[in-house]
Structure 1
Amino acid sequence: MQFNIKFRPLQLADAHFINNLRRLENMEKLIGGSIRPVSLERDQKWVEDLIMKDDQSTVYYAITELENEEIIGYTSVSNIDYRNGTCFWSGIKLDQTKAGKGYGKQTALKLMQFVFDEMRMVRLAAECQENHSIALNMMLNVGYQKEGLMRKRLFKNGKSNNQWLLSVTDEDYVEIKKRNGL
């Protein structure tokens, strides 16, 4: 697969981009976490903490196009358990002007490469709201498998929502790698 994106470490200046994404209510309604106003200063502190802390259980990356270093999104892996070889894809947030260009799929596959080839994990889990068909279809398309529907897992938009639990194992990744030329 030819990637049109790359990952780079977060930079302090990325806080402006991240803060602007948080203001997109239509996006926030479809992902985990609370919908709440967050000041630019808070996001600056959050990004600074991510950069400066030596947290071995979470990795964040800025997503950029190959030609430049300007952030177009970010993604992360959390709950990294080196003893058991498991982790959780915390998701992806992309600039809405980049939607439909395959960047979500590329991010998912590039992240899998990192998780399985570099971190030597054996299982990568993810979750997605039952009604977020775009995210669900993308995850299924790249090789995630549904493990089950978690009922009333996330309170969002004034109600309890169901979420899909999905995963990729190291055995699944062997096939995903072949199928996508990774």
Structure 2
Amino acid sequence: MNQIKFRPLRMEDAWFINNLRQQEDVERMIGGVIRPVSYERDLKWVEDLIMKDHQHMIYFAITPGSSDDIIGYTSISEIDYRNGTCFWSGIKVDPGQAGRGVGTEVALKVLKYVFEELRMVRCKAECLENHQAALNMMLKVGYRQEGLMRKTVYKNGAHNNQWLLSVISSEYEEIRSKFSL
């Protein structure tokens, strides 16, 4: 479980992020609007993430354990310190990394950070109803399905349902033990 690591985003990561956004097959499987984004806009976005002190969201570059080269990114948002809740906003990884356990390892590292560093009591996540790989990965690491949110995302020419999932702190202790985190 040490094939990846997290590091802060860097300005040079904007190139990778912009190229990843251009891959429609990736964009079709995640929430959010598919739209053209210029490299300059992504450069400014990355700069804002680096330079502004965002208290309610955190972005990590995902790198192979053996280098600092970015292979994807993940984020935690809606961080509510008062109530101890947050939203794992998802993961975007180079499609060449699919099926290698990267998503599972990212999900576990995010949970470890959320519960051990941020001291949250609940972490929620969402995925499109038909994104079976994402749903399976989240269930595998210990997320529990709370329900199906109907018609929450307009994507691929239709209004789509999304699964709402979560992990609470008592469940994290079981996950931590099971995966030796």
Q: Same fold (TM over 0.5)?
A: yes
TM-score (norm 1): 0.99
Partner in structure 2 of residue 35 of structure 1: 34
Partner in structure 2 of residue 87 of structure 1: 86
TM-score (norm 2): 0.99
Partner in structure 2 of residue 50 of structure 1: 49
Partner in structure 2 of residue 21 of structure 1: 20
In 2, Cα distance between equivalents of 1:126 and 1:61? 17
Q: Deviations over 1:141-181 (max 9, x none)?
A: 00000000001011111110000000000011000011101
1:158 aligns with 2:157: yes
| Equivalent AA in structure 2 for residue 133 of structure 1 | Q
Partner in structure 2 of residue 9 of structure 1: 8
| Equivalent AA in structure 1 for residue 30 of structure 2 | I
In 1, Cα distance between equivalents of 2:65 and 2:127? 28
| Equivalent AA in structure 2 for residue 120 of structure 1 | R
Instruction: Tell me the SS of whatever aligns to 2:49.
Output: helix
In 2, Cα distance between equivalents of 1:27 and 1:6? 22
In 2, Cα distance between equivalents of 1:154 and 1:97? 26
Partner in structure 2 of residue 143 of structure 1: 142
Partner in structure 2 of residue 104 of structure 1: 103
In 2, Cα distance between equivalents of 1:130 and 1:3? 30
| Equivalent AA in structure 2 for residue 86 of structure 1 | T
Instruction: Tell me the SS of whatever aligns to 1:90.
Output: strand
Q: After TM superposition, where is structure 1 displaced by more than 3 Å over at least 4 residues in a row?
A: none
In 1, Cα distance between equivalents of 2:67 and 2:154? 38
| Equivalent AA in structure 2 for residue 111 of structure 1 | V
Deviation at 1:127, TM superposition (A): 0.3
Deviation at 1:3, TM superposition (A): 1.7
Instruction: Tell me the SS of whatever aligns to 1:55.
Output: coil
In 2, Cα distance between equivalents of 1:131 and 1:91? 16
In 2, Cα distance between equivalents of 1:76 and 1:49? 14
| Equivalent AA in structure 1 for residue 101 of structure 2 | G
| Equivalent AA in structure 1 for residue 136 of structure 2 | N
Unaligned runs of 5+ in 1: none
Deviation at 1:105, TM superposition (A): 0.2
Partner in structure 2 of residue 70 of structure 1: 69
In 1, Cα distance between equivalents of 2:31 and 2:149? 13
Unaligned runs of 5+ in 2: none
RMSD (Å), alpha carbons: 0.5
Deviation at 1:129, TM superposition (A): 0.3
